[in-house]
Amino acid sequence: MKNKTMILLTAAILSTGLAAIYTSGQVTSAQTAASDTAIPLKEAKLNIEHNVKDGDTGFQGFLDSEGWNSITVTGPDGNVLNLTGQEKLGQLGLTELFFETVEPENADVPIAEVLETIPEGEYTFEGPAIEAGEEQGETKGTALLTHDIPEGPDLLSPAENAIVSAAEDLLVSWGQVNKTINGSDINVIAYQLIIEKDEDPDPNMIGKMGLSMYLPPDVQEITIPSEFLEPETDYDWEVLAIEESGNQSLNSSRFSASA
């Protein structure tokens, strides 16, 4: 009787083990199929930002999807970043995410050393897709990183620390950018103009009071209507030159509006 029980128990263990192997194979096949038909990320970006005035350089990234709770970024040298959403918000699922690295001063860490962190090439963003807590398979996207860093634009008007009239329209202008910081030809696809009030942000609002606009590469000046300006107010402004792979360099200045 004891032998019969042992035989039956052994058969049950083998049956369970085979079932597990079979089920594991089915899951692997399903995962492979899901990977082959991954939901594309709406956006996946990885680029360099160089600040001319502050003299620092770092990396930025952005992704957008219908939903995810974990993303791995992989490049020519392997994994470079793992992003994981945990607890209740992670279970609900995330969509957009912007991130940027520490930007060491060029005097302390030369740009060449910063660029050695991750090489040029194609980077893959991928991970489990999730929407309202329901798993949706895999999501995936790619981003191209180059080491082409544009020169920062020369800011022409208003001059540094200029005092302008809040009752008049303001002409803002900057110089054209067509070279990298190493002097190579470059294709700038847009400029971004940002003007913000020089004040602490509202504790409950993301961002500062101001404006931000993207302009075509053949535009180096624009008129800001007087309605935007407030008397007796200081403003910070900057222009970013954005090259075709997304890398950007910025220059910044400030002015004050009088009554």
Q: pTM for the whole thing? A: 0.82
Strand partners, 56: 51, 105
Task: Give DSSP secondary structure letters for 113-125.
Answer: HHHTTS-SEEEEE
- Whether residue 233 has pLDDT greater than 60: yes
Cis omega (within 30 of 0) for bond into 158:
yes
pLDDT > 70 in the chain, percent:
86
pLDDT confidence tier of residue 13, bands split at 50, 70 and 90 = very low
| CA gap 229, 256 in Å, rounded | 9
Domain ranges in the chain? Answer: 1-37, 39-145, 155-258
Cβ atoms of 247 and 146 closer than 8 Å: yes
Digit-coded pLDDT (tens) for 108-128: 999 999 999 999 999 999 999
Mean predicted lDDT score pLDDT of the chain: 88
CATH topology of domain 39-145: Immunoglobulin-like (2.60.40)
Domains 39-145 and 155-258 share a fold: yes
pLDDT at 231: 96
Mean per-residue pLDDT for 232-258?
98
Lowest mean pLDDT among 15-24, 104-113, 186-195: 15-24
- Whether residue 169 has pLDDT greater than 50: yes
pLDDT confidence tier of residue 140, bands split at 50, 70 and 90 = very high
pLDDT at 18: 33
Structure tokens at 195: 């003007």
| CA gap 125, 73 in Å, rounded | 5
CATH of segment(s) 155-258: 2.60.40.10
